[in-house]
Structure 1
Amino acid sequence: MLVAVDIGNTNIVLGFLDESPKDDGYTIVGTYRITTKANHTSDEYGMLLNEFLHMSGFEADDVDDVIICSVVPKVMHSFRASIVKFLGLEPMIIGPGIRTGMNVRIDDPKSLGADILADCAGAYHVYGGPALVADFGTATTFTHVDGHGVIDAGIITTGIRAGAAALWGDTAQLPEVEITKPKTILGTNTRDCMQAGLYYTFLGGVERTIEQFRRELDGERFTVIVTGGLGRIFATDTDLIDVYDPDLIFKGMAYIYNRNSR
């Protein structure tokens, strides 16, 4: 079994990928989330990892290898140490020197986030290109992959949860509300007004962004693939999104692992 670990700014997501003849050679048999905290020790991470393995019916000895994708350097030391201590494995880390099967043609290729790289590898490997890959996480990113697997452009903007937190955090009387699709945009109370405002302005921004990519790419018929925890809220409410794939990053990590199999 391969353990894939996505260390993000808000959550650490673990995927347990069991060998199978399907697709990229792995089936996702379990996913778990941990709140990202820089002060967690390697022992804490190791205990959580072992507990999640047991919950999925596995033992530490069932793990053949580990691959990590991280955008939080402060967490990497402790988490890597937990893998070494509790599993006896040196994890593969997505970064310089790793073969990804993707060609990165932006001004500074090394600045591309490992999570975006894994998302794009998964999108191109599973769905082909050209594609526009959108990740609705702590930040919202849109990344374009051409028909030959070249990552050549993208944008980064505020995630809806971060924007919502700023709304109620910087105002005296606005409460914290759940981010969800409202029944109507015609709000008649503070909560409904906030939910409608957050939802529809974000959705409108997503649609405008996709349209602008298409306009500047001379009408290219790319596939729009959305991932990230909040992606499912919006994916069914616009015709501009073609695919919602919550496991896209794990598919990309499995593909990258196979290209660097040890």
Structure 2
Amino acid sequence: MLLAIDIGNSNVVCGLSENNHWTEQFRIHTVANKTADEYEVIYRTLLSSRNVDLNQIDRIVVSSVVPSLISPIQEMIKKLFGQEALILGPEMYPHLDIGIQNPYEIGTDLVANAVAAYSKYQGNCIVVDFGTALTFTAIKADGNLLGVSIAPGLKTAMSSLSQKTAKLPNVDIAVPPSCIGKNTTHALQAGIVMGYKGLVQYLLEEICKELDGKTTIIATGGLSQVMSSIIDKFDHHEPMLTLDGLKIIGNKFHK
């Protein structure tokens, strides 16, 4: 059984895969100053509540964009599972099926996304990840990861606006009934959600021109369900794409 752990800026998302199928998934809030002992309690409790036998987990692969959490997560894994985790990083990239031009500048979550997208669809791919940051990862048909476009994520934009203004609240990210808000909540949702719809569509059009040829566009990330419902450019909605990439990498390096 494989345990994949994706440590993001907002959430730590985990998946258990058996016989190449996801059997469990759970997420917890990312807390950068938590200790290995605290994470051990959390993971032991979560896995026990799902009747998971810890001894059945023989592969663990981790991606982290929060450097301060790599060490406590590694320590937790060693104590709880009695094994070393495979930590995705630049030293592994030459052994993957995709080419990465700037290995020390790209997030490991984006590498996992690219591995999964290229493995599933081959050809030109664009992965749009709706997370704390909104990212567009472009992969050519020859397997080369060309680069990434990054913008603030929708929740990040909403939080920034509410924090920097005296009278604007932090509201849920949801599709408003109109692009003209009749109240504060709908006005914020119109500006953020519908505004980001335009941003996403425009960037996808421009990136597709540079890829030159048929391109598969995949949506993933926490808010992908909301945005894929109003954007018709996505060929696939893959909420587990990052974990899928980690699973592919974990299986590849498992001895």
Task: Tell me the distance in 2 between the aligned counterparts of 1:187 and 1:178.
Answer: 14
Number of the residue aligned with 1:23: none
1:231 lines up with 2:227 in the alignment: no
1:254 lines up with 2:247 in the alignment: yes
Q: TM-score, normalised by structure 1?
A: 0.93
> What do the CA deviations read for 1:99-125 (whole angstroms, capped 9, x no partner)?
3221113xx222111100000001111
Number of the residue aligned with 1:166: 160
**Shift of the alpha carbon at 1:38?**
1.7
Task: Tell me the distance in 1 between the aligned counterparts of 2:126 and 2:33.
Answer: 35
Number of the residue aligned with 1:97: 91
2:236 to 232, 243, 255: 243
**Contact between 1:10 and 1:35, CA under 8 Å: does it hold in 2?**
yes
Query: Residues 111-126 of structure 1 correspond to what in structure 2 (within 5 A)?
Result: 111-126=105-120
1:76 to 61, 66, 70: 70
**Contact between 1:80 and 1:91, CA under 8 Å: does it hold in 2?**
yes
Q: Runs (4+) of structure 1 moved beyond 4 Å?
A: none
Task: Tell me the distance in 1 between the aligned counterparts of 2:17 and 2:49.
Answer: 14
> What do the CA deviations read for 1:106-148 (whole angstroms, capped 9, x no partner)?
xx22211110000000111112221001111111110111112
Task: Tell me the distance in 2 between the aligned counterparts of 1:103 and 1:258.
Answer: 19
**Contact between 1:50 and 1:59, CA under 8 Å: does it hold in 2?**
no
**Shift of the alpha carbon at 1:56?**
2.4
Unaligned runs of 5+ in 1: 21-25
> What do the CA deviations read for 1:157-200 (whole angstroms, capped 9, x no partner)?
11111111111111111112111111222321111111111110
Number of the residue aligned with 1:185: 179
**Shift of the alpha carbon at 1:82?**
0.4
Task: Tell me the distance in 1 between the aligned counterparts of 2:11 and 2:21.
Answer: 22
**Shift of the alpha carbon at 1:35?**
1.0
**Contact between 1:15 and 1:250, CA under 8 Å: does it hold in 2?**
yes
1:207 lines up with 2:187 in the alignment: no
Task: Tell me the distance in 2 between the aligned counterparts of 1:182 and 1:259.
Answer: 44
Task: Tell me the distance in 2 between the aligned counterparts of 1:174 and 1:239.
Answer: 30
Number of the residue aligned with 1:145: 139
Aligned length: 253
User: Please, what is the CA RMSD of the aligned residues?
Assistant: 1.2
Task: Tell me the distance in 2 between the aligned counterparts of 1:216 and 1:17.
Answer: 36
Give SS of 1:4's match: strand
Number of the residue aligned with 2:129: 135
Q: TM-score, normalised by structure 2?
A: 0.95
**Contact between 2:140 and 2:211, CA under 8 Å: does it hold in 1?**
no
**Shift of the alpha carbon at 1:236?**
2.2
Task: Tell me the distance in 1 between the aligned counterparts of 2:50 and 2:120.
Answer: 25
**Contact between 2:59 and 2:254, CA under 8 Å: does it hold in 1?**
no
**Shift of the alpha carbon at 1:96?**
2.7
1:14 lines up with 2:17 in the alignment: no
**Shift of the alpha carbon at 1:226?**
1.0
